[in-house]
Amino acid sequence: MRRSLLLLTAATTALVLTALLVPLTLLTRSHAADRATAEATARAQWVAHALGPVLATADERETAEQTVESVNGKDLPGTSLILADGRVIGPRTTAHGSAVTDPVRLARTGRAFTYETSSGGRLVLVPVQGAKDGTAVVQVTLSERQLYAGTLASWLVLAGIGVGLVLVGLLLADRLGARLVGATRRLARTADRLAAGDLTARAEPEGPPELRLIAGELNRLASRIDELLTAERENAADLAHRLRTPVAALRLDAETLSDPDEAHRIAADVTALERSVDDVIRKARRPLREAPRADLAAVARERTAFWAPLAEDQNRSVRTATPDREIPVPVPADELAAALDALIGNVLDHTPHGTAFSLTVRRTPDGQAELTVADEGPGFPDPGAAPGRGTSGAGSTGLGLDIARRTAEEAGGTFTTGAATPESEPTPSRPEPTPGRTGSGHRPDPSPGPDPSSGPGPGPGARVTLAFPLALTPPPPLTPPRAHPAETPSVPPAPTC
């Protein structure tokens, strides 16, 4: 738009200046010729007036020669006196032939006039009355260069004025174009922010009336979208809250069943339903204006410390290897914590007591954040594929791994499973359990689980890896992931009384 406006202004200014300057150049040429002719006529008349008394006597030829010589000089028009007998005093106009030409004969009749020659110059002829031997003629010769002297300088001045006007027009057009383009680009940036979910973005009305109108309508659209989304999210949250009552009733009904296995199965299904309802409420209440962002390393340390008391009760050793610096990922902290709870809960529920596991957070060479949870249990039946959603071989709902998978994929990352290799996950030393230790805050109820002595021995292990893209804000320089000192398991939280 800006370039088009500049081109349009340049073309329009050039056309206008051409229409004005062409007549001006012709006028300056004509004016220069008229001025030179007028000066030559005045010169010829002065010479004729001065030589009239001199030519009345025959012995004043020397005086006439001096008078003619005094009006001739370098770069001056050639002035000559043609006597009645054909003799010429001063420069001759023709190199050969008689100086008495038809214009001279016409001037001898007593007429003063200007005559244009074929070479492009002009002759000014003025008769001298009172000469003794007949009428003499004063002839002033103007060459083409002398006739149009000063025309080039006038043309250069006009050209300079034209170029200056074009530059001024381009400057004004550029300022106007910058204003229009700047206002348009700011409108586009506001629209991009709205498209990215920032419903607080508003356009500043500026520029011409049309752009101000568009800015106002864009602001109205953003406000309306914000109102509709708020109402929709409130309705979703209200609906989820209403579901809690029948879910609580289902839990009470499940507890009254006489068959313990059936009661346990239905209770597990109700628990999964409660998690889904809570997830709906949490997502509905989360502001859209805030870009999701969480520190993967900090969340991993916090959730490992949360589960450490239960792991200690089950005689498990836990190793946590996380970097000291922040690793920001585009995932809400609560969803990231839910995914970690699901992975750690699977290890605690589906591996024999005493099975060690580890949690590692690192930044990969390709610029991603990677979370790995590995154990030394029996592993997956198919190491290359985790159980599908709702599929479990241990009587659970089978939703834990699916929660972790959706958390990674919704953030643009990947979810992979496999066998834990001894090279990638070394077995840490097992600490002695501390009697009577409890975790701070809410603590999951320790399930009795299988007896370590009766469970299966160490297997290939299971490894679950979540890869996330880094958040848009560049993190500070990271140090390589390192384990806790001496590769010792993470210490459980301090006991509370």
Q: What percent of the chain has pLDDT over 90?
A: 10
- Distance separating the N- and C-terminal Cα atoms of the chain: 72
Helix (H) or strand (E) holding 81: strand 78-82
Q: What is the mean pLDDT of residues 183-209?
A: 85
> What gap in Å lies between CA 163 and CA 135, rounded to an integer?
55
pLDDT score, position 373? 92
Q: What is the mean pLDDT of residues 268-273?
A: 77
Q: What percent of the chain has pLDDT over 70?
A: 78
Rounding to the nearest 10 degrees, give the CA dihedral for residues 174, 176, 178, 183: -170
pTM over 0.85: no
pLDDT score, position 383? 53
> What gap in Å lies between CA 29 and CA 170, rounded to an integer?
30
Q: What is the mean pLDDT of residues 468-488?
A: 51
pLDDT score, position 299? 92
Counting Cα atoms < 13 Å in the Cβ hemisphere of 243 gives 16
> What gap in Å lies between CA 150 and CA 39, rounded to an integer?
14
Q: What is the mean pLDDT of residues 441-462?
A: 47
